[in-house]
Structure 1
Amino acid sequence: MTGTGPILETERLILRLPQMGDFERYAALMADEDACRYIGGHLPRGAAWRRFLQMPGAWTLQGFAMFSVQEKASGQWVGQIGPWKPDGWPGNEIGYAFHPDAWGRGYALESAVAAIDWSFVHLGWDDIIHCISPDNLASKKVAQRLGSSLLREGRLLPPPSEEHHIEVWGQTRAEWMEHRKRFD
């Protein structure tokens, strides 16, 4: 833990708290209709700014939130991943969203392993979930590769997202410890 929060490193990535310099790429991600079709829809810049501020706020008030994911080689922000649990959420989520130019590189899986490890150790969680749109095949594939399985589905999110039908994928700490061996 540094003065600004934890920094996690993987072979190709750095996971750290959000910084002002991340916003331009975040806004581009949120403006992309294809990239946002499963996470509530694309947002204009002002709304993206307000959503961007959720993560630093959650870090400050809860002591955890999604990490910004940065490529080591380029220093470029490529997405966000990590623990997320707003009031009324259906569980201890490890959520993720990546900029389209980072898709297909294995960044979600690589960074998820680090974020899940950190969450179990530092937050003391006994289980994790991933809230996924039923049509989001790529996210379901990541969840499956992490060892998560479909737990339940329906309209499970709190307002203002209560009309979204989602699938909740997840696993326990014990299951993760077994699945984690695949990534060593």
Structure 2
Amino acid sequence: MSAVPTLSTPRLRLRGFTAHDLDTWAGVCADAEVMQHIGAGGPVGRDAAWRHLALYLGQWAMRGYGVWAVELRAERRLIGSVGVLHPEGWPGMELSWLLARDAWGQGYAREAALAARSFSRDALGVGELISLIRPDNTRSLRLAETLGAVNTGPIEFMGASALRYLHPAAAPVAGRLGG
């Protein structure tokens, strides 16, 4: 799949990232509170933000699935990312999400994650997904549990301890990849 599909929810639009998103995305990635549970656990510069976008877009081209930009439909404003992340060496297909701080606490992450997970299962035939979450990231732990994911225990990943949450596979869909 070379083109990133666009998904719509009642309040959100999930679309492919573009070069025009770099300034906003770099701002999200520069926020220490947003990034405290991601990667090395701190803000990253514009160059690293650019590499995030390249990874997200490259994964769509190489694997046929990936991470979407999440924008508010009414404002057409980028507020974060959601999707299935699975670069080489990752311990599984990860349902991931990251939102700008001003988008927290409004149900956007849940809405976006449900849409991404449904698309991944229904359109692509993806079964089991995981989410890797640091134990002190209470917001994401709560979201994973709200989504029905089950904590299967600790995992050491990228030099940090995380909890591995399993999003059990839905019933296979006949005629789909992996189904």
Q: Normalising by structure 2, what TM-score?
A: 0.89
CA contact (8 A) 2:121 2:170 kept: no
> Counterpart amino acid of 1:35?
V
Residue 52 (structure 1) shift: 2.1
Query: Within 1, Cα distance between the matches of 2:5 and 2:102?
Result: 26
Aligned twin of 1:33: 32
Residue 171 (structure 1) shift: 2.2
The answer to whether the aligner puts 1:173 opposite 2:179 as a matched pair is no
Aligned twin of 1:181: none
Aligned twin of 1:8: 7
Query: Within 1, Cα distance between the matches of 2:143 and 2:97?
Result: 10
> Counterpart amino acid of 1:168?
R
Aligned twin of 2:118: 117
Query: Within 2, Cα distance between the matches of 1:46 and 1:36?
Result: 15
Query: Within 2, Cα distance between the matches of 1:75 and 1:21?
Result: 13
Q: What secondary structure is seen at the aligned counterpart in 2 of 1:174?
A: coil
Identify unmatched segments of 5+ residues in structure 1.
176-184
- Which deviates the most, 106-115 or 18-27? 18-27
User: Where in structure 2 are the equivalents of 1:74-89 lying within 5 Å?
Assistant: 74-89=75-90
Residue 154 (structure 1) shift: 2.4
Residue 116 (structure 1) shift: 0.4
Residue 170 (structure 1) shift: 1.5
Query: Within 2, Cα distance between the matches of 1:43 and 1:146?
Result: 28
Query: Within 2, Cα distance between the matches of 1:49 and 1:92?
Result: 22
Q: Provide the aligned C-alpha RMSD in A.
A: 1.6
Query: Within 1, Cα distance between the matches of 2:85 and 2:43?
Result: 20
User: Where in structure 2 are the equivalents of 1:134-153 lying within 5 Å?
Assistant: 134-153=135-154
Query: Within 1, Cα distance between the matches of 2:114 and 2:102?
Result: 21
Count of matched residue positions in the alignment of Structure 1 and Structure 2: 169
Query: Within 1, Cα distance between the matches of 2:99 and 2:90?
Result: 21
User: Where in structure 2 are the equivalents of 1:49-60 lying within 5 Å?
Assistant: 49-60=50-61
Q: What secondary structure is seen at the aligned counterpart in 1 of 2:117?
A: helix
Deviations 1:30-66 (A, max 9, x none): 1011110100221011222122211111111111111
Higher helix fraction (1 or 2): 1
